[in-house]
Structure formats: structure tokens, C-alpha cells
Amino acid sequence: MATSVANEGASAQIRRRDPAGGISWGRLAGLAVLVLGALIFLFPFYYMVVGALQREPKTDITSAFPNPANLTLANFGDINARVDLVRTLINSGIFTAGVLLATFVIGLLAGYALARLEFRGRNVVFNAMLLILVLPFQLFMIPLYVLIVRTYGLSDNYLGMILPFGVNATAVFIFRQFFLQLPPELFESARIDGASEFTILRRIAIPLARPAIITALIVTFIGPWNEFLWPFLITKQHDLQPLAVALANYISTVASRAANPFGSILAGAVVLAIPAVVIFLVFQRQFIESNLGSGVKG
């Protein structure tokens, strides 16, 4: 798999250097559109970092091009004094890790069963999963709150945070699509050799599924890491809130009283954004390739 990706990359490079493409007005216009797009998408991130590093709460046009002498890390100290960054990052991490673990264990088993095992009722489960992908969350907000907070008493509890996100349906879908693409002979010969289905999954399917697993885990990661509404509903204790919730509470209540509210808000925003953006950048090639692949085939 790795070599085929590398080959594709190499051939793409050759194609790019192909002089037959030439420079035409059409290509220039296309490039102009892409550059304009990149500016619009990336400028807010530049502005976020610049704002987080500025000492004086400037909000006018000069704020985009700050004087280097005006740069400081003080805003990070400020936000850390209001929102315990380490604690809330750990909370975000536990919430996300729980969802990843459940998705990886339960979702892989389910994806394998949906793709490779024949049993009555399989299509019912598959259709239920597809339905969840299109049903809006607001339909579940009140009953989940009733169940988790009122019936099970899981407010201010990691399990209560994790449960509704539990197994990411998109990840199960990606696993299934990937296992479906593997040649059936692989599985049949292992079965003839007397391997159990669990051994086949562990020894054959999972090692081959690495690209699908990485894609599914990234898709799953950004869900709970970025989620605001659900953990906001069920966490009242500050020491259990994920960073997204703590920062949002800071924005909506405390910020008006801070000396440099935007500086500290943006410092918190940078801390919240960095893990997801870095993980995406590290795996983006694999992620986007297989995301495109599942879109085409699905």
C-alpha cells in the first residue's frame, strides 16, 4: 500500500512537470482561484496566531501586521489563569481517547462482520447505521440528556461524555468499505486452514486495513476533540470540562472582564486548534486519498 501511494506521488510529479500542459489563460485563472481560496481559508488562522501573541488589545487594521516588539506569550499565561489548560486538555484527551477506543474495538468488529460475515439481519444493522448518519443530533439531545443525566446519573462523568459518541458511524462505514474491497480468496484460504474469524480479523484484515484505520481514527478524533454542545450540556464541574467547553464558557461569561479579552481567547483557541490541525497535517495525504476513495466507491 505504501509503495503504491509513493508511485502515485511520483507519477503525479511527472505529470506536473509535463510541458504539454503549458501555460494558458485557463490554467492561470484556475491558479488564481486556488490562491484566492487559500488566502481566505488560511488568513483567519494566521490572524488567530498573531492575535494570540499580541500584548496590546489592538483590534484595528494594524493588528494583522504587528510590530515584533509587541509580541508576547503573556496571553497564554492569562488564559491559563482563568481556564486550567493542562486539566482541560487532559479532559479533552480522555473524552477523545474513550471514543477512539470504543470506535476501534466495537467498530472494527462491526465493520468486519458487515463486510465479510453472512448472517441474517446484517442488512438491518447496516441500514440502521446509514440512518444514523443522516438523522440530526437535535432529535437525540433531549432524550439522551434525560437518559444519561437523569436516569443513569452520569453528568460530570467521562463515561456520560463518551457514550453518545461511542462508536463513530462514519468510521464503521469506512471499515466496512475497506474490508469489502479486500480479495475474498485471502479470507477463504485462511478459513480452509482452520483459522477462526477472530484470528483472521486480527492477523489478516487489520494489518491490511492500516490506511482505513488511520482515516477512520482521524475522522473520529476531530468529533469529540472539537465537540461543544454535548459535553457542555452534561459538565457543570470545571475540573471535568474539555477545553472546548471551558474556552466557550470563558468567551461567553468571563471575557468581558479581562484586560485583553481577544488576546487570551485567541491564545486558548490556538491551544485547542493545534492538536487537531497537527494530526490532520501529519496524516493528511493518507487521509485525503482514502477519503476520496471511499467517496468514490460509497
Partner 1 sequence: MAVAAAGRRGRMRRLIGRDPIGYAFIAPYVLFLAGLFGYPLLLALYISFFDYFFAAPGAVVDRPFVGLRNYQQILGDPVFQKALLNVAEFIIINVPLTVVLSLVLASALNAKLPFRTFFRTSYYIPYVTASVAVIGVWLWFFNGSGLLNGVLGPLAPKPAWLVNEFWAMPIIALVVTWKQLGFYVLLYLAALQNIPRELYEAAEVDGAGIVRRFLAITVAEVRPATTLVVILATIVGANLFTEPYLLTGGGGPNGASMSPVLLMYREGIEQGHAGYAAAIGAVLAIGVMAISAVNRFVLERE
Q: Contacts with partner 1 in 87-126 (CB under 8 A)? A: 102, 105-107, 109-110, 112-114, 117-120, 122, 125
Beta strands in 140-260 (DSSP E): none
Q: Which of 4, 19, 61, 184 binds partner 1 (CB under 8 A)?
A: 61
54: which strand partners?
71
In the complex, what is the shortest distance from the CB of residue 247 to partner 1, in angstroms, rounded to a whole number?
A: 5
Q: Which of 166, 190, 208, 254 binds partner 1 (CB under 8 A)?
A: 166
Question: How far apart (Å, rounded) are the C-alpha atoms in residues 47 and 57?
Answer: 13
The whole-angstrom distance between residue 128's C-alpha and the CA centroid of its chain comes to 23
Q: Is the dihedral of CA 191, 193, 197, 199 positive or negative?
A: negative
Please list every residue from 172 through 211 that binds partner 1, using CB under 8 A: 172, 196-198, 201
159 touching partner 1, by CB under 8 A: no
- Locate 219 and state its grid cell: 475522522
228 touching partner 1, by CB under 8 A: yes
Contact by Cβ (8 Å): 132, 169: yes
In the complex, what is the shortest distance from the CB of residue 1 to partner 1, in angstroms, rounded to a whole number?
A: 18
Contact by Cβ (8 Å): 100, 162: no
214 touching partner 1, by CB under 8 A: no
269 touching partner 1, by CB under 8 A: yes
163 touching partner 1, by CB under 8 A: yes
42 touching partner 1, by CB under 8 A: yes
Question: How far apart (Å, rounded) are the C-alpha atoms in residues 106 and 83?
Answer: 34
145 touching partner 1, by CB under 8 A: yes
